[in-house]
Amino acid sequence: MNFKTILLLAGVFMFCIPKLKAQEKEGIVFIPIKKANGDIIALLYDMESPHFQDPKAPRFLLYDQKRKFALGIGGFVRMTASYDFNGISDDKDFVPYDIPVPNNPAKRNQFQMDAATSRIFLELVGSNRLLGDFNVYIESDFRGQSNNLRLRQAYMSFRGFLFGQSWSTYSDVASVPPTIDNAGPNSNSSERNIQIRYTYEMNNHWQTAIALEAPKLSATYGQYNQSIPQRVPDIPLYIQYAWGNKSHIRATGLLRTLSYRNENNDKNKNLLAWGTQLSGVYNVCPKVSLYYQGMYGKGIARYITDLNGVGLDMVSRKDDDGRMQALPTFAFLGGLRYNFNDSWFASASYSQVRLYRENGYYQPDGYKYAQYIVGNLFWELTHDCRFGLEYLYGRRVNMDSKTGHANRIQLMAQYNF
């Protein structure tokens, strides 16, 4: 589905609005969400994602006459303009892993504009005797090839169960500080995954969840080992305590089984990987919020923004005898948000990712650690229209201690619908 198709569908949808209004007595009503009342509307707000960059509840709804089911369409249009005065890469996201070491003078400066992170979604909510309160949700942006639609989330949830693609159970997205940068802090664990999850609300404070998630491996193979299909799902689980005005602390664990083939002995092998994370957000007062994440494990590169997809979930051992290993990784972030008033707020955060050597593993130009510093200012012109200004600094250090760094300033304009 391309952009022209989206425009056509939107045109058909808008053309049908007057007819839908006329059919109110027949059981279909199209109304602005702010003017609606009832439990079905409350479901939309209860099921909003806590991630700062995710869409909010849709402005308009189609619902049946008894208000047991409601279908919303929403999203946002988002444009960013950025200028690099120490180049990072041709990517529009600011990922410190991609900083060239040493810096490349030919790519020192660049100006970019992007609207592909704009979103569109459909959401069905309802309640019945068998499913209880349920939600069916599908969301896309335009980060696919040639700015085509790319699936971000697609799931159904009811009675604590979730089936489909959504934020990983290992990802505490509410603890990620606000950024214009689409990737966010390099240490955060914001990963979307296909999964089966069960969440149990013990009471108003305690919550726990466990999931089976689709395994995806990015490894660096040697001469005597090779890739094979993964056999075991990733298993994340957490326990969380919440209090006050949306403050919480969460302890999360992760188990992974990384499969490969050892060609020295012609056998398929499994390597155990694991991760732990402590995260949360503390709303000190209506004006001040603190964000934090700390993570340590082996074979968890997939779940760290800076290391996702770069071949560091698993690497060949130094002796290259067909065995592989998962390298230890440590990542952390801390952030602060300050609300000046209802229209203006600012935030700043620092994050770092470190990859540790083990069993003699050493690559001179290989990644050792990277830092990510961000400061921004947001203006809510209206409830739905937001502008932002952001400064980013990144630094990458290789195993041979050579470094590269990058700076970026960017603007954002966004309108939610």
Question: DSSP for 231-251?
Answer: -S-BEEEEEEEEETTTEEEEE
pLDDT in tens, 57-67: 888 888 777 77
State the pLDDT at residue 219: 96
Give the C-alpha separation, 105 to 147, whole Å. 29
Q: Which of 389, 397, 314, 308 is nearest to 352 (CA)?
A: 397
With 90 as the cut, is the pLDDT of residue 86 above it?
A: no
For domain 3-416, give the CATH number: 2.40.160.10
pLDDT in tens, 240-268: 999 988 999 999 999 999 999 999 999 99
State the pLDDT at residue 84: 93
With 70 as the cut, is the pLDDT of residue 27 above it?
A: no
State the pLDDT at residue 33: 45
State the pLDDT at residue 118: 97
With 70 as the cut, is the pLDDT of residue 408 above it?
A: yes
- Confidence label for 49 from pLDDT (cuts 50, 70 and 90): confident
What does the pLDDT average to over 17-41?
45
Average model confidence (pLDDT) across the chain:
89
* Token duo for residue 128: 């019945």
With 60 as the cut, is the pLDDT of residue 136 above it?
A: yes
Sign of CA dihedral 2, 7, 13, 16: negative
- Confidence label for 31 from pLDDT (cuts 50, 70 and 90): very low
- Confidence label for 13 from pLDDT (cuts 50, 70 and 90): very low
Mode of pairing for the β-strands spanning 267-285 and 247-262: antiparallel
State the pLDDT at residue 171: 96
Give the C-alpha separation, 188 to 170, whole Å. 11
Please state the domain extents for the chain: 3-416
On whether the CB atoms of residues 117 and 78 are closer than 8 A, the answer is: yes
What does the pLDDT average to over 227-244?
97
How many CB atoms neighbour CB 189 within 10 A?
29
State the pLDDT at residue 90: 67
The residue that leads in pLDDT, 264 or 274, is 274
Helix (H, G, I), strand (E, B) or coil at 399: coil
The most confident of the ranges 1-15, 21-35, 167-181 is 167-181
With 60 as the cut, is the pLDDT of residue 213 above it?
A: yes
- Beta-carbon-side half-sphere exposure of residue 290 (alpha carbons within 13 Å): 9
